[in-house]
Amino acid sequence: MAPNATIMLTRGADGLTLLQSDSVVEQPAFRVNVADTVGCGDAAMGGWIAAVLAEPQPDLVAQARVAAAAAAVSASHAGAYAPLRQELEGLDG
């Protein structure tokens, strides 16, 4: 139905995958001190959407990195947490 759609698969501590047509991008999870995993998938989705809206030309590698960083920052806080963009910039990985 949508052959050019991009699909994100999250795998928790095992990272995430972005799929688009014949492109597959594997993004490892960032290592952080985990306080809580509630909302990490939502944070990853929000980070991905924010990356797409900020830079509409498809850079799947950059989009995957932002999504994984958002999930990692969220995991480092207790309870559901929506990270700020500047919090994503300092992660190594």
Interatomic CA distance for residues 39 and 22, integer angstroms? 29
pTM of the predicted model, to two decimals? 0.90
Q: What pLDDT, on the 0 to 100 scale, is given for residue 92?
A: 64
pLDDT interval class at 86 (50, 70, 90): confident
Domain spans in the chain, listed from the N-terminal domain onward = 6-89
Res 93 pLDDT > 70? no
Interatomic CA distance for residues 76 and 74, integer angstroms? 5
Q: pLDDT tens digit string along 55-75? A: 878 799 999 999 999 999 999
At 35, is the secondary structure helix, strand, or coil? Answer: coil
**52 compared with 1, residue with greater pLDDT:** 52
Residues 6+ apart with CB under 8 A from 34: 75, 76
**In the predicted model, what is the mean pLDDT of residues 10-39?**
94
- Pair 44, 81: CB distance under 8 Å: no
Q: pLDDT tens digit string along 2-23? A: 888 999 999 999 999 999 988 9
Beta bridge partners of 20: 6, 23
